[in-house]
Amino acid sequence: MIAPQASAESVPQFAQVAIPIHLRKLFTYRVPASMRVSIRVGSRVMVQLGTKSMAGYIVALLPRLRTGTSLIESEIKDVQELLDVDPPLTSEVLELTRWVADYYAAPWGEVLRAALPAGINATVEQTISITEKGQREIHNLAIDDGKHRALSLLENEGEFELNAFLLRIGSSRTPRWLPELEADELIERRYRTRKTATRAKHRRAVRLLRDAGISSEAGRTEAQRRALDVLTRHGGALAVASLTEQAQISDSVIKTLIKNGLVVEFDEQLRRDPLAHASLPDTDQLALTSAQKTALHSIEKPLAEGAFATLLLHGVTGSGKTEVYLQAMHRALELNRGAMMLVPEISLTPILSRRLRAHFGDQIAIFHSSLSKGERFDEWSRLRAGEARVVLGTRSAVFAPVKDLGLIVIDEEQDSSYRQEESPFYHARDTAIVRAQKESAVVVLGSATPSLESFHHAQSGKYQYLQLPDRIANRPLARAELIDMREVFARHKKPVVFSDELLEAMGQTHARKEQTIILLNRRGYSSFILCRSCGESIDCPNCDVTLTYHRSDRTLVCHYCNHRQRAPSECPNCSSKYIYYVGEGTEQVEELLRKRFPQMRIGRIDRDTKARRREFEQTLLDFGNGDIDLLVGTQMLAKGHDFPNVTLVGVVSVDAGLALPDFRAAERSFQLITQVAGRAGRGDLPGRVLIQTYHPHHYALRHATAQDYRGFYDEEIRHRSNLGFPPFVALALLLVRHKDPARARTIAQQLRNFLAEANRDHACRILGPAPAPFARLRNEHRMQILIKSRSRKQMRAVIDEAMLKFEEAGGESRMISLEIDPVNMM
């Protein structure tokens, strides 16, 4: 038979595979004849890389090798195994991950792995064993033949993991005769997931084949009759386990019924539903306020037109943004398109999940970080199959396989948890905008305190600007007041953690049977110097960020440009001798409060307790139920939660946040205070916010207490422009890690030289190398280089050229990570 010309052209001979390792390249494998029909782009395969078998993702199939390739055809290895019949990756997700890999200079394989639910990616191992045919034919082989040795080993000791087997026969690579044994069916190769991979869950069930009334037919035993009755009562089908229990019968009764053709056995697919037993809130259709209506109409317009648009929805906390998102999502579904809502890690509370489930029922899939792998897999599968059309999730849900995506909502778009802080570094908000553009969808960025970048784009007209200026029912926002700790210090003649004003307010709040949140804005690692008399910290003369104190050699260091100076013994600003290192921990603060208010029930939440997730959730629930009077915690308490009985929020040390050596320190502090103010007085009771600071005239604090976003923006954007920070320049951060500090410095310097060489047009400013803010982490020494440029394209060209030269010179690229658009400069 002669195959038609066209199909011979399209028969896949080679596969390009992205493998999740640190190398930014694709690998080519030959598609064996047996797989040519079923292999698809987007499926996972097992391939050999070096001596290891690894799972990879097919990103392209080729009828022949590309011309000009350096590959030698005879050296190309076969794809070992095809792992999927239905590709888990849609063409949209492949496209998007390709963009992410490109833009963030990340290995495509790593991005693909991040895009799929954990569990589907379990590591796979190969085992080999002897077949029956092998056992028969072993005697026909010569004893000194390698094949004979291998077969006897398998016969005597049973199944082997491939690498263990190779070790045993003293071979470092797969010997040529192994595939021959396999081709002759003398041995068998199997793929096993090391950690059991997550898949759909099934259970045995039976179904009636004939109609009702059969249980009373003659010839039935009593047990058979009971079984048939129970089945009929349950609509004709039931899991085997339930049937044996309810009808009080043994398995053999069911076997007989099957044999007699009365019932048939089938595999029932179970759905692991994270909200199976949750009680859901009511979903009254609220009559929208006129501001909400205007916002909704602006979203609906491009949605109905099928056009790409990005809108910034700027609304104070409690202004009804979520209601607008919900109705816009309903609108997308009515237009027969899918929808996605991304939320920051911390705010994907049980409350929000239930609220959305109540609205969208089975149409919604929820990706929650405390789901089991099984639940996550099932939720993902329902989207992939098109059974669910809406997804609610955190960062990685941006890659969810939503069909015909029409709308993406990003709540709290300024939140830094949208940035993945490990490879592949990507920003879910920016990725979502690109996804929307590719799929002609609408993006709504929602926030009470938009990021400087997003507001800047709204100003320039790149995004459409929508506003909800007032709280629903005109509930007042909490008043924020600054407490000047310099005065408190002067009064007490020694540094104190709590001002009298804040202590008094805590007592009063408790007396009124209302609740308090005490917030410590401190991350526990940054040491810096602050003057208790004038409130100034000491900044870098070049970078305008706070210098970090290094205790070991009593120096102050800039983590951007490596400027160093000796720690002074008196304040350079006011000559006071009361300069001080900042930092109290949540535990000490909790202790202090317990002593001061023995009758109060006090709870604590911080990073340590967050690791113990159950305890963390229980504390929040207890606080919500009123079983805790006062909650102490870090900034994670500032976001999202809605506790109507909280009327006092105290911020103990806002200065620690202001002084972080990060150009976004002021922006973060402004956002924090605005969010905190949104926590107090959510219900009908008025709220009060007290902020302790040594720096009451700082512009971020002034504008935050006045609730003046615009005032803050205008001032901050000027700084960014003057000092050359985003959104006016593109940033990249190169981090060098090494166990040996001298090596780390040498590598960083070498890299810097290559960068300087590639920067011949002076398109970039290259700062550093300087020690990273965590100069030593997990026993590795860390040096960083910061690169700024007004041209993103030129910046990438410079970095790519320098990295290439570095690798060609034998540099260890494994020791280097590159972050494009870094968010957390810490």
Tokens matching residue 435? 């996804």
Binding-site partner at residue 318 among Zn ion, ligand ADP, none, CB < 5 to 8 Å by type = ligand ADP
Sheet holding 564-566, edge to edge: 548-550, 555-557, 564-566
Residues within the interface to Zn ion (CB under 5 A):
531, 533-534, 540, 542-543, 558, 560-561, 563, 571, 573-574, 576
d(CA 258, CA 239): 14
Q: C-beta of 655: minimal distance to Zn ion in Å?
A: 13
**Cα torsion for 461, 466, 469, 475, to the nearest 10°?**
-150
Q: C-beta of 292: minimal distance to ligand ADP in Å?
A: 6
- For tokens 């009562």, what's the residue? 233
CB-wise, 374 or 568, nearer to Zn ion?
568
Binding-site partner at residue 167 among Zn ion, ligand ADP, none, CB < 5 to 8 Å by type = none
Residues within the interface to ligand ADP (CB under 6 A):
286-289, 292, 315, 317-323, 472
Strand duo 442-447 + 309-315: pairing: parallel
Binding-site partner at residue 6 among ligand ADP, Zn ion, none, CB < 5 to 8 Å by type = none
CB-wise, 539 or 642, nearer to ligand ADP?
642
User: Quick one: 345 exposed, middle or buried, by C-beta within 10 A (0-12, 13-18, 19+)?
Assistant: middle
Q: C-beta of 676: minimal distance to ligand ADP in Å?
A: 14
Q: Where are the alpha helices (DSSP H) in 724-791?
A: 741-758
CB-wise, 351 or 723, nearer to Zn ion?
723
CB-wise, 288 or 717, nearer to ligand ADP?
288
CB-wise, 383 or 620, nearer to ligand ADP?
620
Taking phi first (over 0 means left), then psi (-120 to 50 degrees means alpha), and beta for anything else, what does residue 316 get? beta
Binding-site partner at residue 286 among ligand ADP, Zn ion, none, CB < 5 to 8 Å by type = ligand ADP
Q: C-beta of 321: minimal distance to ligand ADP in Å?
A: 3
User: Within 10 Å of residue 712's Cβ, how many Cβ atoms?
Assistant: 26
Strands (E), 415-528: 442-447, 464-468, 479-484, 515-519
CB-wise, 637 or 767, nearer to ligand ADP?
637
Q: C-beta of 784: minimal distance to Zn ion in Å?
A: 12
Binding-site partner at residue 534 among ligand ADP, Zn ion, none, CB < 5 to 8 Å by type = Zn ion
Q: C-beta of 398: minimal distance to ligand ADP in Å?
A: 20
**Cα torsion for 753, 755, 759, 762, to the nearest 10°?**
-80
Asked if residue 256 lies in contact with residue 274, where contact means CB atoms within 8 angstroms, the answer is no
CB-wise, 319 or 515, nearer to ligand ADP?
319
Contacts 24+ apart (CB under 8 A), 272-279: 272/201, 272/372, 272/374, 272/375, 272/377, 272/378, 273/375, 273/378, 274/353, 274/366, 274/368, 274/371, 274/375, 274/379, 275/353, 275/354, 275/357, 275/366, 278/350, 278/353, 278/354, 278/357, 279/354
Asked if residue 732 lies in contact with residue 799, where contact means CB atoms within 8 angstroms, the answer is yes
Binding-site partner at residue 97 among ligand ADP, Zn ion, none, CB < 5 to 8 Å by type = none
Binding-site partner at residue 571 among Zn ion, ligand ADP, none, CB < 5 to 8 Å by type = Zn ion
Rg (CA), the chain: 32
Q: C-beta of 468: minimal distance to ligand ADP in Å?
A: 7
Q: How many CA atoms lie within 13 Å of 621's alpha carbon, on the beta-carbon side? A: 9
CB-wise, 317 or 464, nearer to ligand ADP?
317
Q: C-beta of 355: minimal distance to ligand ADP in Å?
A: 9
Binding-site partner at residue 543 among ligand ADP, Zn ion, none, CB < 5 to 8 Å by type = Zn ion
Binding-site partner at residue 108 among Zn ion, ligand ADP, none, CB < 5 to 8 Å by type = none
CB-wise, 158 or 644, nearer to ligand ADP?
644
Strand duo 201-208 + 646-651: pairing: unpaired
Q: C-beta of 570: minimal distance to Zn ion in Å?
A: 8
Binding-site partner at residue 320 among Zn ion, ligand ADP, none, CB < 5 to 8 Å by type = ligand ADP
CB-wise, 349 or 746, nearer to ligand ADP?
349
Q: C-beta of 751: minimal distance to Zn ion in Å?
A: 19
d(CA 265, CA 803): 60
